[in-house]
Structure 1
Amino acid sequence: MQLVVIEDVLHPQSASLLQAMLHLRSKVFAERLNWQVESLDGQERDEFDDQAPTYILLVEGSHRVVGSVRLHQAARSSMLAQVFPMLLEGGRLRVHPQMIESSRFCIDKDLPQPHHGSGRHRLNVRSAQTSFSSLRTRTLFAGIVEWCLTNGFRELVTATDVRFERILRMAGWPMSRLGPATFINETESVAGSLEISKAVFERLRPEGYSSFVTLATRKRASS
């Protein structure tokens, strides 16, 4: 597994990875979770993909994207403020220059089809799938925190559901809610703030973790 950061969506080397990422997002959000998102030709994207985000991808092999997250400076664009204000106390997000917002976090939970075997073998396969999914999740968590530290961000905010809130807590990255839990399209959703620090990074980083690789970089606009 390798973490790849894409900071310039127009860079020629980014195209195939971005396409694979959009396919994964469609698979996870439109097909598996049945979210009300726009998926065209098997690719999921929205208006926030047009607002100069940074993407962190988890890549296996040369171009198999097995995890991804989108990061954007809350001072420039914010899903919480613009799309999900109902999740915020008082409907407002208190933005500051060291705040980054994450969205579209997803992990591919599929593994290559295992060989048929005994019931015990199938149980081991299921256990392996859970462990590998957890490794991917923790690796992407650690990559997010490392990128934020490198770029001077100290707080991450996001909109998610209570299931993923539990995953964050179990991983050792508990979320502080920014408002009440609210049902959105039959999903119990929450907004929250996550600490960015070296201590959090060390807690999340799995054994064998390798730092991210920046595939393409652009000059960042000031916030």
Structure 2
Amino acid sequence: MIIVIDSLNKHMFTEVLDEMFRLRARVFGDRLGWDVNIVDGKEIDEFDHLDPAFVVGLDDEGHVVAAVRALQTTGPHMLSDVFHDILDGEAPLRSATVWESTRFCVDTQRLNRGKSKNSVSYATCELMIGSLEYARRAGIQDIITVIDPIMDRVLKRSNNAPYGYVGKTVPMGKVAALAAMLDCSEDRIDRVREFAGITHDVFLTEEEALKVFSKSHPITTEVQDQPTPANQDTKPLTMLEKYFAEQMQAAQSEEDVQAVLKLIEAVSATNPPTQRQVLSQVPQALTNEA
């Protein structure tokens, strides 16, 4: 089960991202021995702060079992700024239709062997399908990915062999690193699907992902703990109103509150109930400050 987390919805999935960063620490720091920055058990680097897209796989129990990061090559990315030795003097790829895929990892400790739904093979293929389909829908034609020789063999065995390589293979921790090229064609996606026997839509909606994740990570919010005002509008919040309410919940200063209120006021000019609905979900202390 796949969820895509980006700059627009990451505020909803902070716990999912934390678990993903912990998985990355175990894989790249402990297992592969890469020189990565691990703080509080989480592996996070400067590229995670550039609003990349994270394609994340969840198992049936709601645990993060696979993940990969997608970043545009038009700006800073790992191959140009960190793994430049791989390029062997070549200029880094820079194109709006080429994305860099890095930090591909699977939880080999939690998943079993074979090709069942909760296996390493299944989770790997599902993540490949999710990342390729997500990129294709975004208009991306090719992916360049920094991998190790083991992952290169995994790609080939899963009928997802790279169509080419860039630069050379260089030492990296306990293993080596190389840069491979993958097209985001329907043919490639179909080949991986056929290999894995995956015919269904692999993506979860945001609501479905939160529900699955909460199976093993109970999610509580301040909104759920607040008493319901007698005059509260009982009409369900729209997605836009939910977004505003979440932003108000995340506000850390009066300046933050004022910024959200101005945006609510602008929208409420054409939809007055929006302001009432949103403010009913916000802690009274915040609205009093405003």
Q: The TM-score by the shorter chain falls in which range?
A: 0.7 to 0.9
Per the alignment, in what secondary structure is the counterpart of residue 52 of structure 1?
coil
Between the aligned partners of 2:25 and 2:40, the Cα distance in structure 1 is 9
Residues 103-122 of structure 1: matches in 2 within 5 Å? 103-111=102-110
* Larger displacement relative to structure 2 (159-168 or 200-209): 200-209
Counterpart position of 1:97: 96
Q: Larger % of strand: which? A: 1
2:177 to 166, 189, 203: 189
User: What's 1:120 paired with?
Assistant: none
Q: Is the 8 A contact 1:81 1:91 kept in 2?
A: no
Distance 1:128 1:111 in 2: 14
> Is 1:79 matched up with 2:67?
no
Per the alignment, residue 202 of structure 2 pairs with: 211
Q: 1:192, 1:42 → 2: CA distance?
A: 29
RMSD, aligned α-carbons: 2.5
CA contact (8 A) 2:5 2:53 kept: yes
TM-score by length of 2: 0.64
Q: Structure 1 pair 128/159, CA: closer, same or farther in 2 (3 Å)?
A: closer
Deviation beyond 3 Å, 4+ runs, structure 1: 9-12, 125-131, 213-216
* Structure 2, gaps ≥5 residues long: 208-242, 244-290
Residue 146 of structure 1 corresponds to 133
Change (3 A) 1:32 1:81: same
Code of the residue aligned with 1:178 in structure 2: it is V
Offset at 1:62?
6.1
Using the alignment, how far apart are the partners of 2:113 and 2:142 within structure 1? 35
2:21 is aligned to 22
Paired residues of 1:29 and 1:37 also in contact (CA < 8 A): yes
Counterpart in the other structure of 1:180: 168
Per the normalisation by structure 1, the TM-score is 0.83
In 2, Cα distance between equivalents of 1:54 and 1:34? 25
1:140 and 1:132 mapped to 2: Cα distance? 12
Q: Distance in 2 between matches of 1:23 and 1:94?
A: 30
Residues 85 and 97 (structure 1), Cα distance of their counterparts in 2 relative to 1, 3 Å cut: same
Where 1:19 maps in the other structure, the secondary structure is helix
Q: Secondary structure at the residue paired with 2:160?
A: coil
Q: How far, CA to CA, are the matches of 1:188 and 1:15 in structure 2? A: 31
- Supply the AA of the counterpart residue of 2:64: V
Deviation at 1:211, TM superposition (A): 3.3
Equivalent-residue separation in structure 1 for 2:113 and 2:69 (angstroms): 29
Work out whether residues 139 and 209 of structure 1, in 8 Å CA contact, stay in contact via their aligned partners in 2: no
Deviations 1:70-111 (A, max 9, x none): 101111221101111111143312322100101111001123
8 Å CA contact 2:55–2:67 kept in 1: the answer is yes
Aligned residue pairs, count: 204
| C-alpha contact (below 8 Å) 1:109/1:129 kept by paired residues | no
Distance (Å, rounded) in 2 between the aligned partners of 1:212 and 1:136:
13
RCO higher in structure (CA 8 A, sep ≥6):
1
> SS where residue 179 of structure 1 aligns?
strand
Matched, 1:65 2:64: yes
**Alpha-carbon distance between aligned partners in 2 of 1:133 and 1:166, rounded to the nearest angstrom:** 14
Q: Does 1:44 align with 2:35?
A: no
SS at match of 1:144: helix
Residue equivalent to 2:142: 155
The percentage of counterpart residues that share the same residue type is 27
